[in-house]
Every structure is written in C-alpha cells, then in structure tokens.
A and B are shown apart, each in its own frame.
Chain A
C-alpha cells in the first residue's frame, strides 16, 4: 500500500483540531466523544468541550466502556469527568468478550460477567449502564459499537483519539483518504455512526503539552507509570485490558503499582499468577522451543493436549482443516520442517499455529506465500512443482 507523504500546513495541531471539530459539529446531527480514559481521549474530550461551548451544544455526550480490570486512577479520572456539568457521560459496564492469553484453559473472559460477581476485581460503579438493547453477552466491542445509537438519532460523529504516531497501520488508515482525512467516509456496518479522528496528527508530546498549557485534568495512572520502568517511554504507555497477548507482559505494573486490585486479578481469570511470573519468558513466547527428543509431528500432540476440552477442539479443527487442504494440494506426506512447495505446510508451522491458539484459521494467505517462497528456494516453477508434488 502506498503511503502518501505528509503535507504540512500553516497552523498548529491544536488549532487545526478545533477547526476539524467545528466542522464535525456542523456536518453531523450529533457529536459523541468515545472516551477511554487514556491521554489521547483527554485531548479529544477537551478540544471537543471547547468547541461545544462555543457552539452552545452543551452538555457534550461522552461514552466510556468500562472494562472492569482497569487502573484505579483511570476509574477516578472517569468519575471526575462524569461529574462535570458540561459532560453527559454514558458509563457502560457490559459483558464484553476479551482474550485471556494467560491461560490455555480459559482463553476468553467476560468483563462484568454476571455469573462471576464474586470474582469481579472491583464493585460496579453506581453510574453504570448495565444493559443495552443491541447488546448480548459475549459480543466483542467491534461487533457491538455500530449499534450503540439508534438510527432515529441521525448521523453521528464518533470522535476517537487515534493518532498516526502510534503505528504504521493507523497512519495508512488516515493517509488513504484524500479529503477529510480524519472522517470515515462510510458509516460502520451501514448504520449511522461515522468514526472521526480529530487529533490524528498530534504527537504524544503535543498531548502532554496541551494538558500542561490548558491545565487539563488527566488520568493519574501516567504519573504512576512515570515512577516505574516506563518512565519517559510515552509510546508504550497504553491503557487497555490486562490479560491479552501483549498486555500480559505488563502484569507486573499492576502488581507493583496497584497491589490491592492485583490480588483480586489473581483470581479473576485462570493463569494470571503464571503469566505474571513467566509472561516475558519462553513459557509464553510464540517462538517454538521443542524438546529435542520429539519430532514436530509428536510435539503437535503435546501442544494440543495443553488446551482444555472446548478450545482444544477449536484448535484441532483448524489444524485438521490445514491438513485436509494439504492433502488436496499434494499427495506427499507432511514433513517435519521442510515446507511443501504446493501447500506451504510442514509440522513445524502447524505447531506454531497450535501454540498461538489460532481459533479462526485465517492463515491461507500465509500458506500461499510460504509455498511460493519454497518454490523460489528450490528454483522450480508452479507447473514443475505440480508435476513433482501433486
């Protein structure tokens, strides 16, 4: 994908964001801030508040999805925002499905799970909205969010604090569009919400500078982070659910900074204690560390065996699908480490998929690329490979 270059304009990011938000207020029936409690949210909230005041559109509607196991200072900050007179904050506590990469026994967990009230890491806040007519237990945020507002409310701009500095992919999302780079041109799932990114060009230093200049209130979790090893490393400071693949590497932050909540987190889902101790070691890495005395084919069974029944069946089904596809493409047996130049499969690769716990089986493109690379390595064409391996 081609990335268009940045074209700098003669204004600063703060003033430019205000004009973007002014435009959003004019072009849409309703403007809503999607608020996470993170620092980028703070920037969107405060710039939007300023514009809403100018345009006499107070109170400003803000939505917050509370993911239960969140840093205590985040909760305090959200409460302060909730209490602002010029803000109408909808505080949702719904049973969203999230990945629990700490454990093979319980690969998913549900925030505010009504069946596990006794295990919640904190009490549900009084402000909570516990139900929504479009929500069913176990939905992901992506599945649910397009249905947040009824179509009768008109066209809604959902303001989000995504910044391109955070990742190349996010840069591409923004750069792909020619005009109004900060507004999605289509509503999600054909409904009535349009995501908009009014601070997409801010750096994290810009966010902190604005917070300082305009004395914005902010999430004090960042002050605590700055006392730990995350000091000055702005980009790695994220506020997100703690048990996923990447976040589990940072479980130590909870144990060091918020011991009371941590002690509850230990019982909330399976494997937290183990992930805390070994999250940054080979026991949780994606790299393969096969014992010498086993072949990859044998090792695959050990890996599958490490899953609990239901998840084991899911992963097994995926692996079987790959094996079936292989048989369609080639009559040769699957080899331990040598990639088949037609199917792209070998036992080592299947082990990697099994370790990652691929529940969805979205790897067919990878396989095609792998097979092609193998043919290049062997210096044979597709036709020759078909003759030899079909």
Chain B
C-alpha cells in the first residue's frame, strides 16, 4: 500500500504556511531542545503538509528551520510529506493525532538513564546542554539515585589559597 513517506519532498521553507488553529504550545526550553536535536541528529522527521502547503504537523520544526544554524544545514529546504484530508475537520484531527500520540517519560527510568550516562563518564554540564535540562533537573534525577552533585558538577578551578592567621 502506498504510504505518505514513500515520497519525501524537499521544499523551500518559505513556500509552507502555518495553519491557524495549532493548539500545541512549545516552551522555550523544549524549542531549544528541538533545535539541538536537528543540529546533532539532523532532519529525521518530515513536516506533514496538505496539498495547498499548509502545515498539518511540524509547525515548530518549520519555525526553527528559519533560524540561521538550521537554515544553513539544508539551504532553507525542509523535508515534507503530503496528506490529503478531505476537509478542515479531518485535517485538524490529523494535527491532534500527531501531537498527542506520544508518551511521557517515567521519572525513575529517566533517573536511571541519567545515572548510566554519568557512570559512563559524562559531565553534568554536558548532559544539561545536550538535553536542554536545567541543573536542577539533572541534580534531582541523580540525587534520586544517590549520586552527590559534587561528583557530577566538578569545579573546574582550584579553590582559593589561604594562610593561617
């Protein structure tokens, strides 16, 4: 059976237009993570559009494709697949399905993964920047596994010398 993914088309981002109903709000830290994801892993998912080039899913990927670092990766082209919903309601449903069909990460599993990374020698600051996590999140996840912060965020400088009075 033919699937939308059979035909991935690279289109100039300026030819696409956002829909006017998207309920999905992405906060700045997650938007930053999305950017990191494309910079580190490259484009792995196409943007879903309808035949008049309106975005059905992938609005935020499309948004950041206008940022300089992402733009230059593909000269402003973005991967798209086309679906043909028969009316607006069908198209909105497709948007909601794309947005909501996803899981949440369980705390304990996340805590285990981060612990493994640290045991593999990764530094706390690297985890922070590559996963767009606050220090608070990394600290709390590791704390749950009993790993002291000082083991993960090591002071890069020597401490100040002193003389006895």
Contact = CB atoms under 8 A, between A and B. Distances in A.
A290 B145 CA distance: 8
Interface of B: 25, 27-29, 107-108, 133-137, 139-141, 143-150
A273 interface: yes
Contact residues of A: prevailing secondary structure = helix
A290 B143 CA distance: 9
Nearest to A267: B28
Contacts of B25: 255, 259
A17 to B, nearest CB: 42
B139 A104 contact: yes
A273 B134 contact: yes
Contact of A266 (B27, B145, B149): B27
Given A277-B137, A283-B141, A290-B146, A266 B29 contact: yes
A255 B27 contact: yes
A255 B29 CA distance: 13
A282 B146 contact: no
Given A282-B107, A291-B145, A306-B143, A103 B27 contact: no
Interface in A19-41: none
Contact of A271 (B29, B134, B148, B150): B134
A304 to B, nearest CB: 9
Interface of A: 102-105, 255, 259, 262-263, 266-267, 270-271, 273-275, 277-278, 281-284, 289-291, 293-294, 298-299, 301-303, 305-306
B27 A262 contact: yes
A274 B143 contact: no
Contacts of A299: 146
A172 to B, nearest CB: 37
Contact of A104 (B28, B133, B136): B136
B146 A294 contact: yes
Contacts of B146: 290-291, 293-294, 298-299, 302
B136 A103 contact: yes
A306 B143 CA distance: 7
A263 B108 CA distance: 27
B139 A306 contact: yes
A103 B149 CA distance: 14
Contact of A283 (B28, B135, B144, B149): B144
Contacts of B133: 274
A15 B144 CA distance: 55
B143 A273 contact: no
A289 B144 contact: yes
B137 A302 contact: no
A278 B146 CA distance: 18
B130 to A, nearest CB: 16
A105 B135 contact: yes
Contacts of A283: 107, 140-141, 144
A283 B137 CA distance: 9
B122 to A, nearest CB: 19
Q: Most A CB atoms within 10 A — which of B145, B146, B147?
A: B146
Contacts of B107: 278, 281-283
Nearest to A271: B136
A306 B144 contact: no
B149 A305 contact: yes
A302 B29 contact: no
A291 to B, nearest CB: 4
20 contacts: A262-B27, A263-B28, A270-B135, A271-B134, A273-B29, A273-B136, A278-B107, A278-B137, A281-B107, A282-B107, A284-B140, A290-B146, A291-B145, A294-B146, A298-B146, A299-B146, A302-B146, A305-B150, A306-B148, A306-B149
Nearest to B145: A291
A316 to B, nearest CB: 14
B135 A302 contact: no
